[in-house]
């Protein structure tokens, strides 16, 4: 049987990396030759989780068609967020919790999308459905994914299913959810050694919103001023990225993991959509987004509506 590659989106976050590892592990236990790979650099938060549970990071790839004819997507479905040559391979399965956009296949496939806070929550169900026990290490990574995507259960995307899954996985992994979760989030929020280029690409996703091409990048911080002190440099980098990618809008969001608010920097010819979407006024390209922490639920839908 030919090897199947399992991967999440570009600029991977913790859910993308950990769910790729967890689902490849499940497939292998079910007799499928599967390998998790990644489409970008590991961030600090994910690195903390991998090192804590002593699991190697998946290897980095940009293209997949030279290695496999069939792939499985986790934590994404939009083609611009996927492998550069995703159109040259057969997508066999998708396990996701995001909106469905810019996605079609020529053949039927297994597609599972649920409105929960994290892909790993769905995978927890799939392990049970297949009667496969989750190892301590894999449980720890799946727990890390849920903590990350839910901001330790504070995100509006978090559901009762996510909380229940996290409790189950924490017991298997042998960790205290709150103690481990806060330490992991703080590791991801340490941005002191990040370059401007790293800051705007650590967790960036590109979206097609109506006729507009939009990129939304998000970083978590304990103190947003650590990032905003570099606003001038950030704006130069964002302007360059807009020109390079022909974007209509680049929205850079800094989220305070302690008070659950965000500060946004918006540039591009469609920047006014941010004011409409969030009922704010941009001052020097910046606005505070009170109570906004989730790109998936509190940013992308609102921007999409504003840009219709």
Tell me: the pLDDT tens digits for 178-193? 999 999 999 999 998 8
> Which residues on neighbouring strands pair with residue 207, listed in sequence order?
214
Alpha-carbon gap, residue 223 to 254, rounded angstroms? 9
Over residues 284-297, mean pLDDT: 96
The answer to whether 242 touches 271, Cβ cutoff 8 Å, is: no
**At residue 36, does pLDDT exceed 70?**
yes
The answer to whether 79 touches 9, Cβ cutoff 8 Å, is: no
**Cβ-Cβ contacts under 8 Å for 115 (sequence gap 6 or more):** 97, 159
The answer to whether 232 touches 267, Cβ cutoff 8 Å, is: no
Q: What mean pLDDT is reported for the chain?
A: 96
Over residues 255-265, mean pLDDT: 94
Q: Is 265 exposed, middle or buried (0-12, 13-18, 19+ CB in 10 A)?
A: buried
- Half-sphere exposure of residue 232: CA atoms within 13 angstroms, side-chain side: 0
pTM for the model stands at 0.88
Beta strands per DSSP E along the chain: 4-7, 34-38, 59-60, 70-74, 90-96, 110-113, 204-209, 212-221, 249-256, 262-267, 286-289
pLDDT for the residue 2 = 84
Strands 34-38 and 4-7: parallel
Q: Residues 149-175: pLDDT tens digits? A: 999 999 999 999 999 999 999 999 999
Over residues 62-86, mean pLDDT: 96
Indicate the pLDDT class of residue 50, thresholds 50, 70 and 90: very high
pLDDT for the residue 193 = 87
Over residues 50-71, mean pLDDT: 97
Distances (CA, A) of 77 to 67, 96, 227, 256: 20, 7, 30, 28
Over residues 265-272, mean pLDDT: 98
Structure tokens at 299: 């940013």
Q: Residues 77-132: pLDDT tens digits? A: 999 999 999 999 999 999 999 999 999 999 999 999 999 999 999 999 999 999 99
pLDDT for the residue 1 = 65
The answer to whether 111 touches 98, Cβ cutoff 8 Å, is: no
Over residues 258-267, mean pLDDT: 95
pLDDT for the residue 202 = 87
């Amino acid at each position: 049987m030919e090897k199947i590659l399992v991967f999440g989106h570009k600029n991977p976050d913790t859910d993308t990396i950990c769910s790729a590892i967890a689902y490849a592990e499940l497939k292998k236990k079910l007799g499928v030759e599967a390998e998790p790979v990644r489409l970008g650099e590991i961030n600090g938060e994910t690195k903390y989780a991998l090192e804590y549970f002593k699991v190697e990071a998946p290897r980095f790839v940009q293209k997949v068609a030279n290695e496999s004819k069939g792939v499985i997507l986790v934590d994404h479905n939009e083609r611009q967020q996927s492998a550069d040559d995703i159109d040259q391979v057969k997508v066999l399965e998708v396990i996701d919790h995001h909106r469905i956009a810019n996605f079609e296949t020529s053949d039927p496939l297994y597609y599972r999308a649920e409105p929960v806070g994290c892909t790993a929550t769905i995978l927890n169900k799939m392990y049970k459905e297949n009667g496969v026990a989750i190892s301590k290490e894999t449980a720890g990574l799946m727990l890390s994914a849920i903590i990350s995507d839910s901001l330790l259960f504070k995100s509006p995307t978090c559901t009762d299913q996510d909380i229940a899954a996290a409790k189950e996985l924490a017991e298997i992994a042998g960790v205290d959810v709150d103690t481990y979760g806060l330490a992991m989030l703080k590791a991801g929020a340490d941005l002191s050694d990040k370059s401007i280029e790293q800051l705007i690409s650590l967790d960036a996703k590109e979206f097609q919103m109506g006729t507009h091409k939009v990129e939304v990048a998000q970083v978590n911080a304990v103190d947003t001023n650590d990032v905003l002190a570099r606003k001038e440099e950030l704006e130069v980098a964002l302007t360059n990225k807009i020109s390079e990618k022909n974007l209509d809008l680049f929205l850079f969001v800094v989220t305070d993991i302690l008070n659950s608010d965000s500060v946004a920097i918006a540039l591009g010819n469609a920047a006014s959509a941010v004011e409409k979407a969030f009922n704010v006024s941009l001052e020097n390209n910046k606005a505070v987004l009170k109570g906004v922490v989730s790109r998936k639920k509190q940013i992308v839908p609102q921007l999409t509506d504003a840009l219709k």
